[in-house]
Amino acid sequence: MKLLKFVSLVALSIAITGCTANKPAAPQAQYQTVGKDPRRDSDTARAENVKAVDAIEKGDYTAAETHLKSALTADIMFGPAHNNLGKVYYHQNKLYLAAWEFEYAAKVMPFQAEPKSNMGLVFEAAGKLDQAVTQYTEALKLEPENPELIGNDVRARIRRGDNDAEVHRLLEKVVMLDTRPEWVDWARKHLAITPPPATTPLVK
């Protein structure tokens, strides 16, 4: 598991209110930044983040949250810790807090696709499919051949009711690039009922 690993198929029955694309207010007293010492202790942040990833893999989100808050106390700008704290909150169904962390991670790591895709997962879990598709599309601009990102994007489009050439194109990419058998089978089933792109007649 990568330190930022999070893109996955998730249950989408969670409800939420007040989760918008605008920047939410910072959560109250979630963690404290380094005060008097302006230097950022990136080494401590990195070490605490690694411990948190191990805890997340074991399903111990309480320990993971503790390590991640320690990481961000040491270095508030350490993007992977924000991303992973968002993952912890997501798994705890705290979607508002998860969205705040993913947004922060995306701002400090603008060339990383994963925080944007993770924000898409939050919107999708909240039933806000237009916003989810927007986030997935932005993530794919950074990693256009990532099969997990493609799968998330096309899943949200299908859930939204899309049945067009773009959905067909994305499903074909899932079949070609994805190594997860369940996703390939899923994509093939949807390809059978999705129209292919229209062809332009040749001019003689």
For residue 86, give both structure tokens.
């968002």
Query: What's the average pLDDT block by block, 10 residues per block, for the chain (204 residues)?
Result: 38 32 43 55 95 96 97 96 98 97 97 98 98 98 97 97 95 97 97 76 52
Tokens 């807090």, residue located: 97
Residue 114: predicted pLDDT: 97
Indicate where the chain has its CATH 1.25.40.10 domain(s). Answer: 41-110
CATH of the structural domain 129-196, one choice from 1.10.3470, 1.10.10, 3.30.310, 1.25.40 = 1.25.40
Question: Dihedral angle at the C-alpha atoms of 25, 112, 63, 127, nearest 10 degrees?
Answer: 60
pTM for this one?
A: 0.77
For residue 156, give both structure tokens.
């949200």
Alpha carbon distance 27, 45 (integer Å): 20
Question: Dihedral angle at the C-alpha atoms of 64, 105, 80, 144, nearest 10 degrees?
Answer: 120
- Among 60, 104, 160, smallest CA distance to 152 is for 160
SS (H, E, C) the chain: CCCCCCCCCCCCCCCCCCCCCCCCCCCCCCCCCCCCCCCCCHHHHHHHHHHHHHHHHCCCHHHHHHHHHHHHHHCCCCHHHHHHHHHHHHHCCCHHHHHHHHHHHHHHCCCCHHHHHHHHHHHHHCCCHHHHHHHHHHHHHHCCCCHHHHHHHHHHHHHHCCCCHHHHHHHHHHHHHCCCHHHHHHHHHHHCCCCCCCCCCCCC
Residue 51: predicted pLDDT: 97
Specify the fold of 41-110.
1.25.40
Cβ partners under 8 Å of residue 20, min gap 6:
none
